[in-house]
Structure 1
Amino acid sequence: MKHPRRLVAGLTTLAIAGAVAVVGVRLQQGAAAPGGQAVAVKAKPGADTAARKQQINKLLSARAAAVRKGDVKAFLASVDSKDAKLVARQRMLFANLRQLGFLKLEYSLANEHEVPRLVAKYGPTAFSSRVLMRYQLAGLDAKPVQTDVAYTFVRRATGWMLVEDGAIDEVLSPDGHRQPWDFGPIKVIRRGKVAVVVAQREAALGQKIAIASQKAATGVRRHWSRPWDGSVMVVAMPDAQVLSLLWTSGTGRGWTIAAKAVPVYEGDPTGMRKAAPAGTRIVVNPSVRKELDEDLLVHEMTHAATQRLGRQGPMWMVEGLAEYIRCAVIEDDPAWTVDPYRKQVRKTLPSMKALPGRAEFGAAGSRSYGQSWWVVEYLVDKLGEKKVAALYADLASHENGADAILKKHSGMTPAQLLAAVKKFRG
Structure 2
Amino acid sequence: MSATPPNSGAPTGPRRWLGLLAAVALVCGGIVYTVEQRTQDARSHPVVVRTSTPTPGTPKATKPSKIAAAVAARRIAVDTILLRRAQAVAAGNEPLFLADLDPANKKLIAAQKILFANLVEMDFGELGYSQAEERFDPAAVRAHGSTTYLVRVLMRYQIPKVDFTPVTTELGYTFIARGGRWLLTDDDDLDADLGPGAHREAWDLGRIEVQRGPRVLVVVEKGDTKRGRAIVRAAAEGLGEVTRYWPRKWAGSVFVIALDETDVRDARFADEDIESAASTGSTFSSLPGQDTADGTVAGGYIVINPNERDRVDEILLSHEITHVATADLGGYEPLWLAEGSAEYVSWRGIEAISGPAEVGKWEQEVIDEALPQLSALPTDAGFYQNSADVYGVSWLAVRYLVQRIGLGNVEDLYEDLARNGNDQAARDRILLTRTGLTEATLWSALATYRPQR
Q: Which band: TM-score by shorter chain?
A: 0.7 to 0.9
In terms of mean alpha carbon deviation, does 297-306 or 349-358 score higher? 349-358
State how 1:64-103 maps to structure 2 within 5 Å: 64-103=86-125
1:315 is aligned to 335
Quick check: 2:215–2:252 contact (8 Å CA) kept in 1? yes
- Which among 273, 279, 287 is matched to residue 268 of structure 1? 287
In terms of mean alpha carbon deviation, does 331-340 or 296-305 score higher? 331-340
TM-score by length of 1: 0.83
d(CA) in 2 for partners of 1:372 and 1:128?
Answer: 45
State how 1:234-313 maps to structure 2 within 5 Å: 234-248=256-270, 256-268=275-287, 271=290, 273-313=293-333
2:33 is aligned to none
1:6 is aligned to none
d(CA) in 2 for partners of 1:300 and 1:83?
Answer: 40
d(CA) in 2 for partners of 1:60 and 1:363?
Answer: 41
1:60 is aligned to 82
Q: Which amino acid aligns with 2:306?
A: P
Cα deviation for residue 254 of structure 1 reads: 7.0
For 2:428, what is the secondary structure of its paired residue? helix
2:251 is aligned to 229
Query: What are the superposed Cα offsets for residues 280-328 of structure 1, whole Å, 9 maximum, x if unpaired?
Result: 1111111112222222211111111112111111222111111111101
Quick check: 2:286–2:297 contact (8 Å CA) kept in 1? no
| Higher RCO by CA contacts (8 Å cutoff, separation 6 or greater) | 1
d(CA) in 1 for partners of 2:105 and 2:334?
Answer: 51
RMSD over equivalenced CA pairs, Å: 2.7
Cα deviation for residue 244 of structure 1 reads: 4.6
Q: Which amino acid aligns with 1:295?
A: I
Quick check: 1:28–1:171 contact (8 Å CA) kept in 2? no
Q: Which amino acid aligns with 2:427?
A: A
Cα deviation for residue 339 of structure 1 reads: 3.7
Cα deviation for residue 334 of structure 1 reads: 4.7
Query: What are the superposed Cα offsets for residues 61-106 of structure 1, whole Å, 9 maximum, x if unpaired?
Result: 1110111121112111112234332221111101000111212211
Work out the number of aligned pairs and report it: 388
2:351 is aligned to 331
2:435 is aligned to 410
1:387 aligns with 2:409: yes
Shift of the 268–388 alpha-carbon distance from structure 1 to 2, 3 Å rule, reads closer
Cα deviation for residue 367 of structure 1 reads: 1.8
Residue segments in structure 1 that go unaligned for 5+ positions in a row: 1-25, 31-40
1:199 is aligned to 221
Quick check: 2:202–2:219 contact (8 Å CA) kept in 1? yes
State how 1:113-262 maps to structure 2 within 5 Å: 113-157=135-179, 159-248=181-270, 256-262=275-281
TM-score by length of 2: 0.79
State how 1:32-71 maps to structure 2 within 5 Å: 46-71=68-93
Q: Which amino acid aligns with 1:264?
A: T
For 2:286, what is the secondary structure of its paired residue? coil
d(CA) in 2 for partners of 1:119 and 1:360?
Answer: 40
1:20 is aligned to none
Identity %: 37
Cα deviation for residue 278 of structure 1 reads: 0.8
Shift of the 420–122 alpha-carbon distance from structure 1 to 2, 3 Å rule, reads closer
In terms of mean alpha carbon deviation, does 202-211 or 116-125 score higher? 116-125
Residue segments in structure 2 that go unaligned for 5+ positions in a row: 6-37, 43-66
